[in-house]
Amino acid sequence: MNLRLKEFRERAGLTQADLGDRIGLSHAAVSRLENGTAVTLVKLEKAADVLGVSLPAMFSEQPEELAEIEALFLALPPQRRRMIQNMMRDLAAESHSGGSAA
């Protein structure tokens, strides 16, 4: 399992003890959680909430920004999704043709 908890914890400037204090675990328990040896959904949800990241982002190979964009996109109604897809296609086409998006 590729868990990105340590990456997000360090990015937030927290030690294992700091995170543990905020989610009710010892620093040793946070270490086991980061190493994937004592993972529970409840613990991960608490950690994700404290770190301000989504639960799926904890397991994702993609940058957090993409996970956030995906979550926001999926929350939209279908008509808005199509509108955004079309805008992104237009921007990508402009980018590849050397045009500038203003």
Span 7-30, pLDDT tens digits: 899 989 999 999 999 999 999 999
The pLDDT score that the predictor gives to residue 95 is 86
My answer on whether 42 and 92 are in the same domain is no
Q: Enumerate long-range contacts of 27-35, CB under 8 Å, 24 or more apart.
A: 33/3, 33/5, 34/3, 34/5, 34/6, 34/9
The pLDDT score that the predictor gives to residue 66 is 76
Q: Which comes out higher in pLDDT, residue 75 or 86?
A: 86
My answer on whether 51 and 68 are in the same domain is no
My answer on whether 76 and 50 are in the same domain is no
The pLDDT score that the predictor gives to residue 64 is 66
Split into its structural domains, the chain has a count of 2
User: Looking at residues 46-63, what average pLDDT do you find?
Assistant: 85
User: How far apart (Å, rounded) are the C-alpha atoms in residues 2 and 41?
Assistant: 15
Angle, helices 27-35/16-23, rounded to nearest 10 degrees: 100
Per residue, the 3-state secondary structure of 34-71, as one string, reads HHCCCCCHHHHHHHHHHHCCCHHHHHCCCCHHHHHHHH
My answer on whether 51 and 92 are in the same domain is no
My answer on whether 69 and 25 are in the same domain is no
CB 91 within 8 A of CB 101: yes
My answer on whether 26 and 48 are in the same domain is yes
My answer on whether 77 and 91 are in the same domain is yes
The pLDDT score that the predictor gives to residue 56 is 84
My answer on whether 89 and 52 are in the same domain is no
CB 69 within 8 A of CB 75: no
Q: Which domain holds residue 88?
A: 62-102
Q: pTM of the entire structure?
A: 0.60
My answer on whether 54 and 88 are in the same domain is no
pLDDT of 63 higher than 80: no
Phi, psi of 13 (to 5 degrees): 75, 25
pLDDT of 102 higher than 70: no
| CATH code where residue 53 lies | 1.10.260.40
My answer on whether 56 and 68 are in the same domain is no
